[in-house]
Amino acid sequence: MSITDWFSARETKRYTQVADRRVAAPAGSDVPDGVWVKCDGCKRTIYEGELVENGRVCSACGHHFDLTAPQRIELLADEDSFVEFGADLAPCDPLSFVAAKPYGAQLIAATEKSGLPEAVVIGRARIAEQPIVLAVMDFRFIGASMGSVVGEKIARAFETATAERLPIVIVTASGGARMQEGMLSLMQMAKTSAAARQHADAGLVYISVLTNPTYGGVTASFAVLGDVIFAEPGAMIGFAGPKLVEQTTRQKLPKGFQTSESLLEHGMIDGIVARGELGSRIASVIGYLKPVEARAVANGGGF
Partner 1 sequence: MAKPRHIMEFERPLIELERQLEELRQLDLADNVELSAEIDALAAQIEQLHHETYKHLSPWDRVQIARHPQRPKTQHYVETLFDDVVELHGDRAFGDDEAMFAGLATLDGRRVAVLGHRKGTNTKENIRRNFGSPHPEGFRKAMRVMELAEKFGLPVVSFLDTAGASPGLEDEERGQAWAIAESLAKLSGLKVPVVVVGIGEGGSGGALAIGFGDRLIMLENAYYSVISPEMCAQILYKDASQAETASSCLRMTAADLVGLGVVDEIVSEPLGGAQTAPDQVFEAVRESVNRALLELEAVDAAVLVARRYEKLRAIGEYCSLDE
Q: Which residues bind partner 1 (CB under 8 A)?
A: 1-5, 87-92, 94-95, 97-101, 117, 147-149, 151-152, 155, 177-179, 181-191, 193-194, 196-198, 200-201, 216-217, 219-225, 238-240, 244-245, 248-249, 251, 253-254, 257-258, 262, 266, 268
Kindly give the residue spans of alpha helices, DSSP state H, lying in 202-276: 216-219, 242-249, 260-265
**Closer of 63 and 178 to partner 1 (Cβ):** 178
List alpha helices for 250-302, DSSP H.
260-265, 278-288, 292-298
Q: Which letter does DSSP use for residue 121 in this model?
A: E
Minimum distance from residue 148 beta carbon to partner 1 (Å):
3
Looking at the Cβ atoms of 100 and 292, the one nearer to partner 1 is 100
Q: Considering the complex, what minimum distance in angstroms separates the CB of residue 165 from partner 1?
A: 19
Strands 206-214 and 36-38: unpaired
Task: State in angstroms the smallest separation of the CB of 26 from partner 1.
Answer: 39
Complex with partner 1: residue 91 or 234, whichever CB lies closer:
91
Q: Among 228, 301, 219, 213, which residue's Cα sits nearest to residue 269?
A: 228
Q: How far is the CB of 9 from partner 1 (least distance, A)?
A: 13
Alpha helices in 96-181 (DSSP H): 103-114, 148-163
C-beta closer to partner 1: residue 137 or 240: 240
Closest CB 293 distance from partner 1, rounded Å = 21
Q: Give dist(CA 11, CA 280) in Å, integer.
A: 33
Q: Report strand pairing: 22-23 vs 36-38.
A: antiparallel
